[in-house]
Amino acid sequence: MRATGTFRVESFKAVALDSPIETALPVGVATMAKAYEGEVSGRSATIFTSAFDQARGVGTYVAMESFEGSLDGHAGAFNFTHTASTSGADRAHEHFLIVPASGTGDLATISGAGGMAVDADGTHRVWFDYEL
């Protein structure tokens, strides 16, 4: 099954990070809250890490999300992880996975993958290709 939706970031809070190793791309950590609408409806809490150069828009992120809501009317919660890289104007090396055995409620047996995309107008899209 596939469920699609849009999301918006409701909060993005950087966490202080003191690393003893300096690299060409600074490493950052943040927490995020997102709201989802559509066939994917609900909210998520995210731990977001990145090695990213703001000025050039170059880097990679890794995120772990805890989602609570519904997919196609099936209510519950689960975790998913995603990562991608950018050289400034693209998304590459993407990975998106529903964490096995993380579901609750109607989503207790959820498994699968999915993806994210950002439209030219800034709309953030998400989809889950999942099985119950």
pLDDT at 118 exceeding the cut of 90: no
Burial class (CB in 10 A: 0-12, 13-18, 19+), 71: buried
Cβ(113)–Cβ(131) below 8 Å: no
Q: pLDDT at position 27, please? A: 93
pLDDT digits 0-9 by tens, 50-105: 999 988 989 999 999 999 999 999 999 999 999 999 988 788 899 999 999 999 99
Q: pLDDT at position 88, please? A: 81
pTM over 0.95: no
- Taking the C-alpha atoms of residue 10 and residue 33, their distance in angstroms, rounded to an integer, is 5
The per-residue DSSP string of the chain comes to -EEEEEEEEEEEEEE----S---SS-EEEEEEEEEEEESEEEEEEEEEEEEEETTTTEEEEEEEEEEEEEETTEEEEEEEEEEEEESSS--EEEEEEEPTT---GGGTT-EEEEEEEE-TTS-EEEEEEEE-
Q: What type of residue is 86?
A: T
Mean pLDDT of 3-8: 98
Mean pLDDT of 97-115: 98
In which band, very low, low, confident or very high, does the pLDDT at 116 lie, cut at 50, 70 and 90?
very high
Strand partners, 5: 38, 126
Task: Tell me the domains of the chain and their CATH numbers.
Answer: 2-131 (2.40.350.10)
Q: pLDDT at position 61, please? A: 96
Q: pLDDT at position 115, please? A: 96
Q: What type of residue is 100?
A: P
Mean pLDDT of 37-53: 97
- Taking the C-alpha atoms of residue 25 and residue 131, their distance in angstroms, rounded to an integer, is 38
pLDDT digits 0-9 by tens, 9-28: 999 999 988 889 999 998 99
